[in-house]
Structure 1
């Protein structure tokens, strides 16, 4: 098939391009720089420069490729998060998830594209009450912390637009692995190594993880199969912060994490950071496994933290 990957040089896209090429597909990937184009070409794809914040640039790139499948993996994240100003950190990514998604879908429909796959997210976006682990039928958080309202609204928009267009929205869990903030050399991992990431309060917030290679494998599966809808792409073991943080610390040779009362942590990471650490809910991957035929290579973050943080 002819496959168009918006964000072909990004975290997921750079892994997805060679997988699709190896399977015999004709892949066009977009990037913003010559370096990114070079990585796409080196992987066997056709690289094109595209500005994901410009509707005309998107339309030109998609119509030129005339893809049978369009994959939206555009984000603009540096790995550095200001939890007290979360929406500001995600401002460009939010635009890519709203206006960028709309422009990509419109161009795909004009080009006659039959299948659309869009990146989304699951984690703190779940409602922070009720069941410990949520499915795709559970509502997203109806009362998000003010600092993250715009980001949650952008995620919800991308999902609604995708499903309305007959596409698949893949809700990835918290990424870890090579090239990620939670990966060898990444900012969060180094902070854990230096004991700068404490367990906040009781550490009861439930997190769902996804190795970056498993995210690419799930996207590959969604390119070829699965009905329109939303899919959680996470591992098999949602876990409380108080459970996974000490395991991560041991895996990177650090001392056990410190503990911080919520009222102190709130001064540093705001209400959003505290809620993520103490009241977040995890996500189930049962639907993706059943309908996409996908199985995570790292079924648990326990194994992934031991041997999946470094180079693939």
Structure 2
């Protein structure tokens, strides 16, 4: 099968490209940097330069490749920023503007299936345990609302493009190598240093997924599963009050401090309040039933130990 991976050099993109090529697919992957062309080729795929926000660039790439399946993993999250809204700005454009161009080009190139990355951590607070039908937090404050709106707009385009079987994979918070919750990652360093506090009661339920499991699900979705939305996250929704001290123990960091929602919003932004104290728990049952999702790391507890190693007493 000929598969085009848009965003083939990111944290999820690289192993997805490598896994698809290893399974015998004819894989073409895009990158925005000429320096990454050799990286893609080293994964067993062909490489093409493409700017996901440039319509001519996207159309040229897709029409030249004429893929049967398109996998959209385009983001711009590799460079950290203290400003959450600015950090998400290009990714939001890739989700809204970029997805519109990509879906049009995929249809015109003859693709019959598109698998697209989205996020599972965007559900309306107070809705209880949630599945893929739960209401999204479209009216969320500040950068959260902007990001949720961009994600939902992208999802609708993927699902509603005529002639395309659209599959949306709502990843949980990724952890593992080359992520923020991995060795040397920003969140891991903050937890080890004791600078990431528990917000309020720490009741926000983080949906975690190891990078390897996100990759497995993405490769699986290329050829399996009905069109629709799937939560790709592990079996154990993680309250911040549980996972943050647990990770601090593994890393040998101090016990996390506790701060109020008001102080968190002032110091870190409104997103810290939403994720830390308001995010409802989410379910992966649909992905298990319909995609046959199987986890190498079914719980973040086991997964964190595998990624970081367990120090004595943790």
Task: Show the counterpart of 1:206.
Answer: 205
Distance 1:276 1:79 in 2: 21
Q: Is the 8 A contact 1:8 1:29 kept in 2?
A: yes
Q: Is the 8 A contact 2:160 2:166 kept in 1?
A: yes
The reply to whether residue 97 of structure 1 matches residue 95 of structure 2 is yes
Flag structure 2 segments of 5+ consecutive residues without an equivalent.
310-314
Distance 1:212 1:111 in 2: 30
Deviations 1:36-64 (A, max 9, x none): 21111001000111011101000000111
Q: Is the 8 A contact 1:178 1:309 kept in 2?
A: no
Q: What is the Cα-based RMSD across aligned positions, in Å?
A: 1.3
Task: Show the counterpart of 1:187.
Answer: 186
Q: How does 1:287-302 map to 2 (within 5 A)?
A: 287-302=286-301
Flag structure 1 segments of 5+ consecutive residues without an equivalent.
none
Deviations 1:144-187 (A, max 9, x none): 11332221110001111111123001000001110001110111
Greater CA deviation, 247-256 or 260-269?
260-269
Bigger RCO (CA 8 Å, 6+ sep): 1
SS of 2:269's partner is: helix
User: Normalising by the residue count of structure 1, what TM-score does the alignment of the two structures yield?
Assistant: 0.95
Greater CA deviation, 267-276 or 219-228?
267-276
Q: How does 1:39-78 map to 2 (within 5 A)?
A: 39-78=39-78
How many equivalent pairs are there? Answer: 306
Q: Alpha-carbon deviation of 1:308?
A: 2.4
Distance 1:147 1:231 in 2: 24
User: Normalising by the residue count of structure 2, what TM-score does the alignment of the two structures yield?
Assistant: 0.94
Q: Which 4+ residue blocks in structure 1 deviate beyond 3 angstroms?
A: none
Q: Is the 8 A contact 2:127 2:134 kept in 1?
A: no
Distance 2:105 2:265 in 1: 43
SS of 1:71's partner is: strand
Q: Alpha-carbon deviation of 1:81?
A: 4.4
